[in-house]
Chains A and B, each alone.
Chain A
Amino acid sequence: MAHTHEAAHHADDHSHDHHGPEKGWRRWVYATNHKDIGTMYLVFSLIMFFVGGTMALVIRAELFQPGLQLVDPMFFNSMTTMHALVMIFGAVMPAFVGLANWMVPLQIGAPDMALPRMNNFSFWIMPFAFTLLLSTLFVPGGAPAGGWTMYPPLVLQNGTSFPMLIFAVHLMGASSIMGAINVVVTIMNMRAPGMSLLKMPLFVWSWLITAYLLVAVMPVLAGAVTMLLTDHYFGTTFFEAAGGGDPVMFQHIFWFFGHPEVYIMILPAFGVVSEIIPTFSRKPLFGYDAMVYATASIAFLSFIVWAHHMFTVGMPLAGQLFFMLATMLIAVPTGVKVFNWTATMFKGSISFEPPMLFALSFLFLFTIGGFSGLMLAIVPADFQYHDTYFVVAHFHYVLVPGAIFGIMAAVYYWLPKWTGHMYNNKLATWHFWLSTIFVNVLFFPQHFLGLAGMPRRIPDYSTQFADWNMVSSIGAFGFGLSQLLFAYIVWQTARGGVKASAKVWDTATPHGLEWTLSSPPPYHSFEVAPEVK
Chain B
Amino acid sequence: MAHAQTSHAPSDKYYVPHSSPWPIVGSVSLFTTVVGVALWLNHVNAGPWVFALGLAMVVFMFVRWFGDVIRESESRLYNEAVDRSFRMGMMWFIFSEVMFFAAFFGALFYARQFSIPWLGGEGVKVFTNLLLWKDYENAWPSNGPADVGGDFEVIPAFGLPAINTAILLLSGVTITIAHHALKAGNRKVLNIFLAATFLLGFLFIVLQAEEYMHAYHELNLTLGSGVYGSTFFMLTGFHGFHVTVGAIMLTVIWFRCLKGHFTPTHHFAFEGVAWYWHFVDVVWLILFVFVYWL
Residues in A with CB closer than 8 Å to B111 are: 238, 244-246, 249
Question: For chain A, which range describes its interface: under 10, 10 to 19, 20 to 34, or 35 or more residues?
Answer: 35 or more
Residues in A with CB closer than 8 Å to B13 are: 7, 10, 14, 111, 527
Within 8 A of A (CB), among B81-119: 81, 84-86, 88-89, 92-93, 95-97, 99-104, 106-107, 110-111, 114-116, 118-119
Residues in A with CB closer than 8 Å to B6 are: 17
Residues in A with CB closer than 8 Å to B24 are: 29-30, 120, 124
Residues in A with CB closer than 8 Å to B31 are: 128, 131-132, 171
State which of B33-41, B187-195, B257-265 sits at the interface with chain A: B33-41
Q: What's the minimum C-beta distance from A151 to chain B, rounded to whole angstroms?
A: 15
Q: What's the minimum C-beta distance from B5 to chain A, rounded to whole angstroms?
A: 11
Q: Give complex CA distance A376, B243 in Å.
A: 45
B135 within 8 A of A: no
Interface class of chain A by DSSP:
helix
Would you give the 0/1 interface string for A241-271, flagging 1 where the beta carbon is closer than 8 Å to chain B? 1111110010011001000000000000000
Q: Give complex CA distance A358, B136 in Å.
A: 59
State which of A223-231, A379-387, A396-404, A439-447 sits at the interface with chain B: A223-231
Given contacts A14-B13, A128-B28, contact A244 B115 (CB under 8 A): yes
Contact B144 A245 (CB under 8 A): yes
Would you give the 0/1 interface string for A231-244, flagging 1 where the beta carbon is closer than 8 Å to chain B? 10111111011111
Contact A242 B100 (CB under 8 A): no
Given contacts A124-B27, A219-B97, A242-B145, contact A234 B223 (CB under 8 A): yes
Residue of B nearest to A159 (CB): B42
State which of A58-66, A184-192, A507-515 sits at the interface with chain B: A184-192
Q: How many residues of B are counted as interface, with CB atoms below 8 angstroms from the partner's CB atoms?
A: 77
Contact B143 A167 (CB under 8 A): no
State which of A67-75, A210-218, A460-468 sits at the interface with chain B: A210-218
B197 within 8 A of A: no
Given contacts A181-B89, A241-B119, contact A246 B21 (CB under 8 A): no
A26 within 8 A of B: yes
- Which of A17, A127, A174, A249 is most buried by chain B, counting CB atoms within 10 A of its CB? A249
B22 within 8 A of A: yes
State which of B175-183, B199-207, B225-233, B284-292 sits at the interface with chain A: B225-233
Residues in B with CB closer than 8 Å to A7 are: 12-13
Where the two chains meet, the residues of B that have a C-beta atom closer than 8 Å to any C-beta of A are 2-3, 6, 12-14, 16-24, 26-28, 30-31, 34-35, 37-38, 41-42, 65, 81, 84-86, 88-89, 92-93, 95-97, 99-104, 106-107, 110-111, 114-116, 118-119, 123-125, 128, 132-133, 142-146, 148-149, 222-224, 226-231, 233-234
Would you list the 5 A-B pairs with minimal beta carbon distance, nearest first?
A: A223-B103, A244-B144, A235-B224, A242-B146, A236-B230
